[in-house]
Amino acid sequence: MQQQKKYRFLHIAFHIHQQLFFDGIVISGFYNHHRVFELLQNDNPQGKPNHYGKFGYWHQEKGKLDQYDIIFVGISRPELQGNLMSLIREELGPNSKTKVVANVDYAVEMWPMAFNATHLRHELNKADFIFAAERSMVSHLKALMTDRTIHYFPHPTDLAVLKRIGQPIEGRQNRNLAVIHRYDNNWMDMYISTKDLRNIETYAILLDPAIQVECLPYFQYTVNGVPYPQFIEMLSHSKIVTDSYHKMHSYGRIPVECACLRVPIVSTDWVTSALEIWPETTVPAGDVLAQRDMAQRLIDDPKFYKEVTDLAYDRVEACGYENSFMNFVKMIES
């Protein structure tokens, strides 16, 4: 049998929020790509990793890029404005064996505020491979990069850690956690879709605490954004979750986390992970009435509740480290 290649993987950036790595539990999704290669192990007596993965800043890693087999860049405003892809390609040269992989780390609705489309195309063309984890992003990138292949697969999540945190339903609070994301601050739709829910209390968690004053007259209970481990603890002790993404497309890490915790979420069809993992409880974006009715069904129908959570618990395996590793390797070896 041919021995599997050992990959050295670098996620490189100009800037990243440090708490995303040091909250005790690494936040799910995008920030796990290097950990897939860092932690994934094959069966061997020593239990040593077969691969190597790390996160590094450009100023630390420049001049050493050829030490890696894969360099991964999530392009947000700093990486685009600083021409990080061009800097990487200039150092590696056109014929390097090191593969450069790009992913755009901004929702398509934010592109006009952050990107020049021509500049984005120029920088993406420095990559050997481009992938997206969100359906609308795939469409936008295919239209922008008509001569390039855009690969599509989910961001990875450390499923085992999250699944260990899950609570039995009888141990949960009778609570709907209404998640109001900081990118859309769409508290009004969350209020309208939850204000008449019966037999449950709604807690609005504000991932942008600046909107708390606006929300206080509408929600009996509000919670400002908390460090990631505490957020997961709140999620695991909630009966259901409702999601504010009615006006912005997202990959959606929270539906992934909910699936691991067996807590059903009512999200929208603008959230890719909700479509993939929770199709039975996902409603059209903008249809707050459907969101209210679906949340009420989950509250009132324990059989349906169990059916959808069991299905999601199985489907979320597509986001695990092993599948993520295979998706990445299949892409770069294609």
CATH number at residue 271: 3.40.50.2000
Rounding to the nearest 10 degrees, give the CA dihedral for residues 186, 189, 191, 193: -150
Give the total residue count for the chain.
334
For CA atoms 251, 256, 259, 264, the dihedral sign is negative
pLDDT for res 16: 76
Q: Is 322 inside any structural domain? A: no
Axis-axis angle for helices 288-300, 302-315 (nearest 10): 110
Of the three residues 132, 152, 172, the one that is the final residue of a domain is 152
Judgement on whether residues 32 and 113 belong to the same structural domain of the protein? yes
Distance between CA atoms of residues 252 and 264, nearest Å:
14
Within a domain: 305: yes
The label of the residue with tokens 């992003």 reads 137
Q: End-to-end distance of the chain based on CA atoms, in angstroms?
A: 20
Q: Same domain, yes or no, for 219 and 305?
A: yes
Domain shared by 163 and 311, yes or no:
yes
Whether 262 and 125 map to the same domain: the answer is no
Does 165 share its domain with 313?
Answer: yes
Q: Is residue 72 classed as helix, strand or coil in its secondary structure? A: strand
Q: Identify the bridge partners of residue 221 per DSSP, sorted by sequence position.
A: 203
How many structural domains are present in the chain? 2
Examine residue 95 and state whether it is found in any structural domain, yes or no. Answer: yes
The pLDDT of residue 141: 97
Task: Specify whether the CB–CB gap between 274 and 283 falls below 8 A.
Answer: no
Are 112 and 234 in the same domain?
Answer: no
pTM: 0.93
Q: Which residues of the chain have pLDDT under 50?
A: 1-3, 43-45
In this structure, are 247 and 132 located in the same domain?
A: no
Q: Both 216 and 294 in a single domain?
A: yes
Please state, in angstroms and rounded to a whole number, the distance separating the CA atoms of residues 23 and 229: 7
pLDDT (0 to 100) of residue 19: 62
Please give the pLDDT value at position 48. 57
